[in-house]
Every structure is written in C-alpha cells, then in structure tokens.
Structure 1
Amino acid sequence: MITAENLTKRYGAKTAVDDVSFTVRPGQVTGFLGPNGAGKSTTMRMIVGLDRPTSGHTTVGGTDYRHLKAPLREVGVLLDAKAVHTGRSARSHLRAMAATHGIPARRVDEVIELTGLTSVAGKRAGKFSLGMGQRLGIASALLGDPHTLILDEPVNGLDPEGVRWVRQFVRYLAAEGRTVLLSSHLMSEMSQTADQVIVLGRGKVLADAPLSELVRSWTTSQVRVRSPRAAELADRIAGDGVTVTSAGAGLLDVAGLPADRIGDVAAAHGIPLHELTPTTGSLEEAYLALTGESVEYKTKEIA
C-alpha cells in the first residue's frame, strides 16, 4: 500500500504539489493521471525519496521509503528509463543492480526473458531504441520481485504488442495482491488497465474514484436511435430533462431517457426502430471535462 498525507512540494514561489492525500491499495491497478505540470512525477519522486516534501509525508507498506532495508525487493520503480549507464549492456546493468541487493543472477535472466530483451541483452543500452529502453526500465523495476510497482509512462515508445503485454502484466500483478501505481497520458489504454483513478491538476487532487464511477460522474450517457420516422419519434419523446440531437438522416442521439423507455414510446405509436443502442462516455471525455480548468500548457484549438 502507498499512502500520501498532506503532501506539499514547493520550488521557490511555485507550488508543484499542494496538500495531496491519497491511498493506493493492493489488489488493483491505480491510474495516476493529470495534464503536463500537474505534479504527478514530483509526487512519484517524493514517494521513493528522490525529492523531499516541503511538508506532509508518504509511506510504502507503512514505512518511509528511505527507511526500507531492501528497496528493490519491496518497491519496483520506473521513473526515467534513460537513467542507465549507456556503455553497459542490458545484462550488465541489471547484474549491477542485482548485486546491490544480493539478488541472484538467475533473476536477471528471468526479467530479461520476461520483458523480451533476450536478443539484445548483450547490447549497450545507449544503442537501444525508445521501446527497448522502456523494456529495460521495466525489467529493472521487476528485478527484486517487489510487492509494489510505481511506473511512470511505462508504455511510452512500445509497439502494440509491448503495450498489450504491459497492460496484461500489471493486471496480473494486481490480481496477485500487489500494489500498482501507473501513470499514462494514453486514456484509451488506461481505460482498459486501471481499476481506480487518481487525477491531479495544478498540484491538487481533482478526483480519486473507481474508473467506472469517474466516467459516470463526468460524462453524459446517451442512446443512439435509428428510425425511418426519427423526426416523429423525436417529438414523441421530447420533454423536461430530455435532449434529442439529430445525428444524421433517420438518426438521433437521446440524452436523459433510457433505451427501454424510448422503445416503449416507439412501440406505443407504431414507430419502427432499426437501432436502439445505449452509449456511455469515455475516460478521455471524463478526463478532459475534469481537468479543463487545470491545464497549464494549453494548445490552440483547430477550427
């Protein structure tokens, strides 16, 4: 379990993390989301003792990370895949890390195979592609077979097979009862991976909820209706709290009325239906609605 209590970090006049509190529980994948500059990486760095909080504190498994006797065996961390001696091979890098904790060489071979690095294990890390570098970073995080994993953008640069592997693997680890904190800017991927979502914006916690609850709270459910008498049906179902939008010839998007009620109205008036499909919002839509006022670096919208 990871806990953060009233965590604050200031750099001069700038407050990067502002009174942040949350708990990352074992047995589930917790997504850590937020715009660039929201404070995610700073928070992760404070959890693992790379940055000292201005105030507040964090623990991993009930202990300050700096007081862990064997950090690699308890917490696997990927914050910067480039943090490796570029002249060393992948195998040499992992063996050097393993030596600091008395981890046997066979475990190095295991994580090399597990992360798909076998064919390049003897190659210098400085020659790695972005994706191979990410795989080496993940291998480093897994080296001590830790109970807790903290991964910052682990799928960055990976090919589709690698992205799917990361998704399936972190879910497997969570199912084993481990604690997984995972950051990503890929909303479509996070929607398939995370159980719980923590969203930061301008250094503050904007949301901390199950993914399904977050999407339900910040998006609007609709029903896609297709009928040759769509205009007549639109008149029949109109009312307070109901929004009907034409989505094309014979096509309606209806908000504020469930599919079964729309079907009942259509049947009562003999209106044929060719489609009646409930749709729900996406994590991306919920995220954008939630963080709209917290984006520090905004781009110009394209008309």
Structure 2
Amino acid sequence: MIEARELSKHYGSKKAVDGISFTVRPGMVTGFLGPNGAGKSTTMRLIVGLDRATSGSVTVNGKPYAAHRAPLREVGMLLDAKAIHTGRSAVNHLLAVGATHGIGRTRVDEVIGLTGLDSVARKRVGGFSLGMGQRLGIAAALLGDPATLVLDEPVNGLDPEGVMWVRSLARQLASEGRTIFLSSHLMSEMALTADHIIVLGRGRVIADAPVADIVALSGGTLVRVRTPHAARLRELLASTELGTQVQVHPGSSTNEPDVFQVSGLDAARIGELAASAGLALHELTPVAGSLEEAYMSLTQNEVEYHAGGTASASEGASQ
C-alpha cells in the first residue's frame, strides 16, 4: 500500500506537487494520469525517496521507503529505463542490483525469462532498443519479488505484444494481492488495465475514483438518438426549461442527418420527452463514454503547455 498525506514538493516558486493526499491499495491496478508537468514523475520520485518532500509524507507498506531494511523486497520501481550502465549486459546489471539485497542468479534468471530477455541477456545494454530497455527495467523492478510496484510509463517503446504483456502482468500481480501503481499516456490501454484512477493537474489531485466512476462523473455517458424528427427533437432538448446541463452533439457521421447524441439526460427521459411531443423514435441507445474523453474533460483547464502557444515559464521544471 502507498499512502500520501498532504505531500508537497516545491522547486523555488514552482509547486510541482501541491499538498496531495491519496491511497494506492493492494489487490488492484491504480493508474496515474495527468498532463505533462502535472507532477506525476515528481510524485513517483517522492514515493521512493529520490526527491525529498517540502512538506507532508508518503509511505510504502507503512514506512517511508528509506526506512525499509530491504526496500527492493518491498517496492519495485521503474522510473527511467535508461538509468543503466550501458557497458553491462542485462544479466550482469540484474546481478549487480540483486547483490545489494542478497538476491542471486536463480532469481535473476527467473525475471529474465519472465520479461522475455533470454535471447539478449548477455548482450550489452547500450545496444538495446527502447522496448528491450523497458523490459529490463521491469525485470529489475520485479527482482525482489516486491509487494508493491511503481512503474512510470512501462509500455513506452513496446510493440503491441509487449503492451499486452505488461497489461497481463499488471493484472496478474494485482490478483495476487500486490499494490500496482503505474502511469501512462495511453488512455485506451489504461482503460483496459486499471481498476482505479488518480488524476493530477498542476500538482493537485483532481480525480481519485474507479475508472467507471471517473467516466460517469465527467459526463462521459451519451445517448444515441435516431428519429425522422431530428430537428424538432434537438430543439426540444436544447430548450432552456431543461437546464444547461443538457448538450446535443452531432452524430458519428454527417451522412446520418437523423442521428445525434445527447449528454445530460438518460435514455428514459429523452423517450418521455419525445413521446409527449408526439415524435417517433427509431433508436435510443446509451453509449458509454471513454476514459480518454473523461480525461480530456477533467484536464482541459490543467494543461500547462498548449500546442501552438507559448510554453509556460515553468517549462523545464520536473514533472
């Protein structure tokens, strides 16, 4: 379990992490999302003691990371897959890491096999592709058979097979009762992998809930409507009497003039309104929104760097 309480990290006047509190629980995969500069990487560095908090605290399995006598057996971490001596082979790198905790060749061979590195185990890391480097970083994180895993962008550089492997691995480890905390910019993959999501924006927690709840709370549920009276029903649904929470969106194709989508009202209420106005309906289908849509809605006012604009003065500060 990971517990953060009023955790803050300031770099001069820049508040990279601003008094955040959250709990990452065992037995599930918790996704960590946020725009660039939101504070995700800084938070992960604070968890494993690579940065010192300005205020507040964060513990792993009840203790600060540095207070564990054998931290590699408590928490495995992948924060920077490139932070490896490029002249070493994969197996020698893992043996060197394992030696700090009395972990020997048997376990090194196990994680090499688990991560699919058998064919390159004796090759120098400097010649590895980005994807192979990621696999080696995950192997090092698993070396101590830890109860908690902290993985920053673990699928970065992996091919589709590798992405599916990380997804299966994360869910398998969570099913064993471990705490899995991972970040990613791939919303579609996070939707398939995570059970719970924490979203940061400008160093603050802006969402902390199960995936389904985040999609629902951000207005991610739409109702697809098909009717030969589209113009009249759209006008009815957009009337001021229904309140500003109701929004009418175009259909999925401009070739479907009789189709549109509605947010802010459920299918039953739309049907009742159409019936009261004598308007026939040919389709009324709830359409689940996506995590990507929910994420964009949550973070639309939290992005520091906008394409085509001028970078924030804080650019270059740590995430």
Q: TM-score, normalised by structure 2?
A: 0.87
Tell me which residue corresponds to 1:36. 36
User: How many Å apart are 1:211 and its aligned residue?
Assistant: 1.5
The share of aligned pairs that are identical, in percent, is 65
Tell me which residue corresponds to 2:267. 259
Give 3-state SS (helix, strand or coil) of 2:149's partner. Answer: strand
C-alpha separation in 2, matches of 1:121 and 1:231: 65
- CA-to-aligned-CA distance 1:169-217 (integer Å, 9 cap, x gap): 1111111110011111111111111111111111111121111111111
Give 3-state SS (helix, strand or coil) of 2:199's partner. Answer: strand
Confirm or deny: 8 A CA contact 2:32 2:181 kept in the other structure: yes
* 2:297 corresponds to 1:289: yes
Equivalent positions of 1:225-240 (< 5 A) are 225-231=225-231, 234=234, 240=241
The AA in structure 1 aligned to 2:16 is: A
Equivalent positions of 1:1-303 (< 5 A) are 1-231=1-231, 234=234, 240-241=241-242, 242-247=246-251, 248-262=256-270, 271=280, 273=282, 275-300=283-308
The AA in structure 1 aligned to 2:298 is: L
User: How many Å apart are 1:12 and its aligned residue?
Assistant: 2.0
C-alpha separation in 1, matches of 2:271 and 2:83: 58
Structure 1 residues 135 and 234, CA, compared in 2 at 3 Å: closer, same or farther? same
Give 3-state SS (helix, strand or coil) of 1:156's partner. Answer: coil
User: How many Å apart are 1:267 and its aligned residue?
Assistant: 7.8
Q: TM-score, normalised by structure 1?
A: 0.91
Structure 1 residues 290 and 123, CA, compared in 2 at 3 Å: closer, same or farther? same
User: How many Å apart are 1:80 and its aligned residue?
Assistant: 0.4
Confirm or deny: 8 A CA contact 2:73 2:144 kept in the other structure: yes
Count of residue pairs brought into register by the alignment: 300
C-alpha separation in 2, matches of 1:81 and 1:58: 23
Structure 1 residues 258 and 68, CA, compared in 2 at 3 Å: closer, same or farther? same
User: How many Å apart are 1:68 and its aligned residue?
Assistant: 0.8
Confirm or deny: 8 A CA contact 1:233 1:271 kept in the other structure: no
User: How many Å apart are 1:245 and its aligned residue?
Assistant: 4.4
RMSD: 2.1
Give 3-state SS (helix, strand or coil) of 2:209's partner. Answer: strand
After TM superposition, the structure 1 stretch with the greater mean CA deviation from structure 2, 232-241 or 143-152, is: 232-241
- CA-to-aligned-CA distance 1:14-34 (integer Å, 9 cap, x gap): 221111111111111111111
The 4+ residue runs of structure 1 with deviation greater than 3 A are 227-240, 242-246, 260-272
Structure 1 gap ranges (5+): none
C-alpha separation in 2, matches of 1:207 and 1:46: 20
Structure 1 residues 230 and 135, CA, compared in 2 at 3 Å: closer, same or farther? same
